[in-house]
Amino acid sequence: MNSENPDPTPPAAPKITSVLVYACSGGSDAGELADRIARQLAQEGVAQMSCLAGIGGRVKSLVAKAGFKKLEHLGLQDLGLRKGSCSVDEPNTSTGVTAAKKIIRLPSTNINPHASAQ
């Protein structure tokens, strides 16, 4: 027992959520950024990260067969983060996490943050 930390209780686990995030973790800068965004969402308890290959990418028939009722997609290119030209850094990760949280929390979200409200 450590005298500096008298409470041996481990930190609380992140809350369990029914939101699953399937992120590309590919070999490009955009893939790495998508992976970091998904991992941060999972660490914050906002979503659970899962393997994209497990559902065959965004093939809608496989998604339907897996029992998913709602599918949302966040394209990093819609945030101005394009493959081959986006830095994998905290500001870009934060941009993606913020956009993903908007999609997760709102029943109907326009994925393109640059689109004007009607």
For residue 97 the two structure tokens come to 């996490």
Residue 2 has pLDDT above 50, yes or no: no
For residue 107 the two structure tokens come to 């029943």
Query: Any idea where the domains of the chain sit in the sequence?
Result: 20-105
Our CA angle for 68, 111, 114, nearest 5°, is 180
pTM of model > 0.75: no
Q: What is the pLDDT of residue 68?
A: 72
Side chain identity at 67, as an amino acid letter? G
Our CA angle for 63, 92, 71, nearest 5°, is 15
Q: What is the pLDDT of residue 60?
A: 63
For residue 4 the two structure tokens come to 């500096």
Sign of CA dihedral 32, 38, 43, 49: negative
Our CA angle for 78, 53, 37, nearest 5°, is 40
Q: Bigger pLDDT: 79 or 14?
A: 79
Q: How confident is the model at residue 24 (pLDDT cuts 50, 70, 90)?
A: confident
Q: Bigger pLDDT: 14 or 29?
A: 29
The residues near 39 (Cβ < 8 Å, ≥ 6 apart) are 49
pLDDT tens sequence across 49-105:
877 665 555 556 666 666 777 778 888 999 999 988 999 999 999 999 999 999 887
